[in-house]
Chains A and B, each alone.
Chain A
Amino acid sequence: MTNLETLVEAIHDGASVALAPDYSGCAMAAVRALVRRGARDLRLIAVPQAGFQADMLIGAGCVGSVEAAAITLGEYGFAPRFTDAVKNGRITLRDSTCPAIHAGLQAAEKGVPFMPLRGILGSDLLTHRDDWKVIENPFSPDDAIVALPAIRPDVALFHAASADRHGNVWIGVRRELMLMAHAAHRTLVTVETVVDDDLLADEARAAGTIPALYVSAIAEVREGAWPIGLAGRYPADAAHLAEYARLARTAAGFERYLDEHVRGRASAA
C-alpha cells in the first residue's frame, strides 16, 4: 500500500496511460494529483473512450497525445478542453474505434504483436492511422482485414471498490479494468477500502478480482472516483459535473475550477 502522491509519481512525464471510461472505474483523485504535480506529455489511451479524466488532464496541459474512440462528457456534453486542444492543434490525435482499442489491448494481453479486426475498411480512421495495416487473411483468398498493433500501455490507472492486503483488487463486473491490467506494464490502482481477508479465497469474489501479480501499487483513497460515481458505492455528483462542464467551456473558467477543486484540495486529494 502506498499513498496517492507516491502512486502518481510512478507515472513519468511522457508515459502512455490507459484510462477507464466514465461508467467504469475512474481514478479522479489520482488525476487531480497528476495535475497538481504538473505532469507533462502524457500519452492517453482511452479504453475505449474517456470523459472527465481526459478532459481535465488535457486542459491542465498534462497531455501530449490521445488515442481514443471518443472523448466526451456524455450527458454533460462535448468535452470542452479536449475540443479546444484539438482545434488549436495542441495535442496529437490518434482517433480510433472502440473494438480497435480493445483488440490492441487483447494483443498485448496475449503477448502477440497484432490483432486482426473486421470492419474499419473504408473508414477515414484508417487513412490517418499509419500504424494500422491492411493485410490479407492468410487462410482465405481475397479477404482483406485490418491488423492493429498491440497496445501495451506504460501504465493502467483506475479506481476500484476494494483491495486486500496481498494486493489483489476487486473490480466486480468491470472487466475492462482486468484487460487494462493484463495489457499494461504497470497497473496503479486507487481503492475505496482495503479489506483484511483474501479476495482470492472466495470463488464468487475471485472471479471479479485482478490478481496481485498484475498490480504494481495501490493507494487507499476514499471517494477516489468523485465527482464520477462508483457503481454499487456512490452515484455521480451530478451538480458538480455540470459545474465542471460549464466552467471548462473557457480557459479562464477551467483555471478557476482547478484553483478551487484541484490545486486547493491538496490535503483532501
Chain B
Amino acid sequence: MSYRIEELLITTLAPMLEGLEHVAVGAASPIPGAAALLARHRGGGRPRVSMLASRRHASFTDGARELFDCAAQGRIDAFFLGGGQIDGSANINLVGIDGYPASRVRFPGSFGSAFMYFVVPRVILFSLEHSRRVMVPRVDFVSAPGTSPSNVYRPGGPYALVTSRCVFRFDRDRGRFALASVHPGQTLEDIREQTGFDFDVPARIEQTPAPGAQDLVLIRGPVGKDISETYPDFARRVLELDAATA
C-alpha cells in the first residue's frame, strides 16, 4: 500500500506512546495528535490522550494552567516539543535566530517548553523539516536545555527526535543522539549532509518500518475521523477525509 510521509510519521510515533497512561499533545500538532490517537486505538482506550485544541479529547477543567500543574505532578507520561532549531545536545530554540532580543528571525516563543521538558518523562522532539537550518551545531537561544546537572530536579527530558528523514534516540547520560532508524528512501549520507550536529551511528542501520496495511486502514478510518474534529484541514488535505463525513 502506498503511503504519505505524514502516515509514516504517525506509525513511527505511535509505538513510542503504547503502554503509557497519559499522553498530552500541544497546539498545532496534527501528526503527534494522530499518533497519540492511533496508540489509543491500538491500546483499546489506553493511553488517555489530552489534546489542547480538542473538545472531544479535553481532560482539563481548571484553565490553561492545569496541563502544566498536571505534568508537574507526574501525571503526564509523554509530550511533544518542536524547535526552530534543535542541536546535538537536544537543546531546543523556540525564540529566534541571530541575536536577542532583536533577533533577525523571530519565532513565536518558548511556550511551555522550559517547563515540560523537565517534568514529562518522555518528551518526543518532532520536526517535519530536517535540514541544517533546523538541526544545528548549537542553538542560538536555549528555550529549554536537553540535559541538566544531576542536582537539578528533572524527572523528564528528551526521549527521541523524529524527523522527516529518520529517528534519533537520545542518550541522557551521554547527552547525545544516536541514529535509531532511517526512513525508507533516505540514506545515512543524506542525513549526515542535512544534520548540523554530530550523532552516534550503530554498526547496523535499521530502516524505519513502513506503515502496515492495517495501520493505514485505521489512520484513514477511525483515527482520521477522530483527528478531523481538531484538525479538519489536516484530515482533508493529508488523509483525504472530509470533515463533513467524519
Binding site for B on A (CB under 8 A): 21, 23-24, 47-49, 68-72, 74-75, 78-79, 82-83, 86-89, 92-93, 95-100, 102, 106, 117-125, 128, 142-145, 173-179, 231
B111 on interface, CB distance cutoff 8 Å: yes
Interface residues of B in 140-199 (CB under 8 A from A): 141-145, 148, 151-153
* Cα distance, A102 to B116, chains bound together (Å): 14
Contact A69 B112 (CB under 8 A): yes
Contact A86 B106 (CB under 8 A): yes
A-B contact pairs, 21 of them (CB 8 A): A49-B111, A70-B108, A70-B111, A74-B27, A83-B106, A95-B95, A95-B110, A98-B68, A99-B68, A119-B114, A121-B152, A123-B142, A123-B145, A124-B141, A125-B114, A144-B152, A173-B61, A175-B63, A176-B63, A177-B63, A231-B55
* Cα distance, A25 to B193, chains bound together (Å): 46
Contact B145 A48 (CB under 8 A): no
| Of A24, A97, A175, the contact of B112 (CB 8 Å cutoff) | A97
B-side interface residues, number (CB < 8 Å) = 45
Chain B residues with CB under 8 A of A142: 151
CB distance from B30 to the nearest CB of A (A): 10
Chain B residues with CB under 8 A of A128: 100-101
Q: How many A-B residue pairs have CB under 8 A?
A: 138
Chain B residues with CB under 8 A of A179: 63, 65
Chain B residues with CB under 8 A of A97: 110-115, 143
Chain B residues with CB under 8 A of A92: 101
Given contacts A68-B109, A121-B148, are A93 and B101 in contact (CB under 8 A)? yes
Contact A71 B111 (CB under 8 A): no
Binding site for A on B (CB under 8 A): 27-28, 52-53, 55, 61-65, 68-69, 72, 94-96, 100-104, 106-119, 141-145, 148, 151-153, 233
Contact B153 A143 (CB under 8 A): yes
Chain A residues with CB under 8 A of B96: 86
Contact B102 A120 (CB under 8 A): no
| Of B111, B116, B143, the contact of A124 (CB 8 Å cutoff) | B143
| Of A79, A98, A118, A125, the contact of B64 (CB 8 Å cutoff) | A98
* Cα distance, A72 to B94, chains bound together (Å): 12
Contact A47 B64 (CB under 8 A): yes
| Of A78, A121, A124, the contact of B107 (CB 8 Å cutoff) | A78
Chain A residues with CB under 8 A of B94: 70
